[in-house]
């Protein structure tokens, strides 16, 4: 399958050293996630922009291999992403949300959509489903109502 994102490294900031490429926290954090056709289309546009930047900078372009990069191809500082994300959230009038909060949103939305917890956990790179269930995939009123209806249907055949 072509539509896959491979997660095998990360960028962190270390005092005195700047941005450092490192391994994800655990072996399970290294993972492959399947993307939708619309996400692939969006990322192809990003890739097209990068190709244009590379062609413009020629020898000044650094092929970092990251999906999102600075205009010269180097990795983006994670702190800058957080600041830009906070600003965007504020500008569109959304309640407080952080990039890490998107992980909680994903897990909760996937659970609500009926996605198997094992798949959610694998996509998030968790060592166990328990971590996903206990920390990330919040149980919403919709999920509880759907569960109650399923139980009622099972018991009473409605």
Q: What is the pLDDT of residues 77-107, one digit of tens each?
A: 999 999 999 999 999 998 888 999 999 999 9
Q: Is residue 67 part of a domain?
A: no
Domain presence at residue 10: no
Is 80 exceeded by the pLDDT of residue 31?
yes
Inside any domain, residue 156: yes
pTM of the predicted protein model:
0.74
Q: Is residue 34 part of a domain?
A: no
Contact between residue 7 and residue 71 where contact means Cβ atoms under 8 Å apart: no
Structural domain that includes position 102: 98-158
State the pLDDT at residue 29.
Answer: 92
Average pLDDT, the chain: 90
Q: Supply the pLDDT for residue 145.
A: 87
In a domain, 8, yes or no: no
The secondary structure of residue 77, as a DSSP letter, is P
Sole residue written with tokens 């939708």: 36
Q: What percent of the chain has pLDDT over 90?
A: 55
pLDDT (0 to 100) of residue 158: 67
Average pLDDT over residues 111-128: 92
Identify the pLDDT of residue 92.
94
Helix (H, G, I), strand (E, B) or coil at 67: coil
3-state secondary structure of 18: strand
* pLDDT given at position 96: 87
Residue with tokens 């166990």: 128
Per-residue pLDDT, 140 = 81
The bridge status of strand 31-34 relative to strand 10-14 is unpaired
- Listed residue (97, 99, 89) closest to 68, CA to CA: 99
CB atoms < 10 A from the CB of 138, how many?
A: 14
Question: What is the number of domains present in the chain?
Answer: 1
Whether 143 is in a domain gets the answer yes
Q: Is the pLDDT of residue 1 over 80?
A: no
Distances (CA, A) of 87 to 58, 79, 82, 98: 32, 12, 9, 10
The verdict on residue 26 lying in a domain is no
Q: Indicate whether 50 belongs to any domain.
A: no
Q: 20 by DSSP, 3-state: which?
A: strand
């Amino acid at each position: 399958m072509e539509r896959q994102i491979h997660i095998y490294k990360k960028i962190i900031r270390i005092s005195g050293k700047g941005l450092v490429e490192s391994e994800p926290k655990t072996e399970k954090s290294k993972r492959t996630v399947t993307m939708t056709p619309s996400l692939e289309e969006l990322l192809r546009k990003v890739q097209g922009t990068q190709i244009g930047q590379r062609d413009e900078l020629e020898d000044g372009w650094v092929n970092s291999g990251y999906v999102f990069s600075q205009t010269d191809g180097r990795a983006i500082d994670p702190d800058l992403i957080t600041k830009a994300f906070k600003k965007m959230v504020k500008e569109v009038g959304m309640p407080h949300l952080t990039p890490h909060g998107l992980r909680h949103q994903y897990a909760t939305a996937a659970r609500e959509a009926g996605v198997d917890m094992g798949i959610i956990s694998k996509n998030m790179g968790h060592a166990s489903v328990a971590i996903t269930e206990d920390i990330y995939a919040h149980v919403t009123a919709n999920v509880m109502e759907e569960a109650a209806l399923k139980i009622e249907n099972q018991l009473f055949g409605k």
